[in-house]
Structure 1
């Protein structure tokens, strides 16, 4: 599988306020939980997650082997913002950063 960006996670400080704005733009979410609100936008996932919004939105690249992709990027000079975390039975995510601090999300097995 070639890497593909299929989702964008927007971290927000006020989930209800963000749902109001994003709902006006994107319609009714397919998932509406206190920890995750997800919208399907033409097959692309846009989601809201509560937290500290100072890091900006994170685009997640789907990779076949999360550990291998993470190791390759760290060896190339990326730094780790968040370690791999299991988010679903078949999915783990982590966030790295480039030299300027821009987030790079990875999602895979």
Structure 2
């Protein structure tokens, strides 16, 4: 059965990869491995890839840090716990935890390279 994207001829496969700038690749690779609790599935000097919930988190030492660009939000079950853990791991606070409506909470932090990480707690979404 074809998806609506295939029927429309757009050739879109869907969201699949988020790539963060990693000017200090080994440092950022270690930080994300600690954050995730496991190492990358792909580890080369030009790119490091982690599989996260069916998506790819890529670290690119040649990418330019894009401040003010789109923010990727990581789904979490308890935003306060994850926010505090990332701060303890060396992330920097960016925006505080805020309820945006219907019990949905968001916040942003910056990883050690300055990439913005969004967190979102959506109690109505069952995983």
> TM-score, structure 1 length as denominator?
0.50
Identify the structure with the greater strand proportion.
1
The structure that has the greater radius of gyration is 2
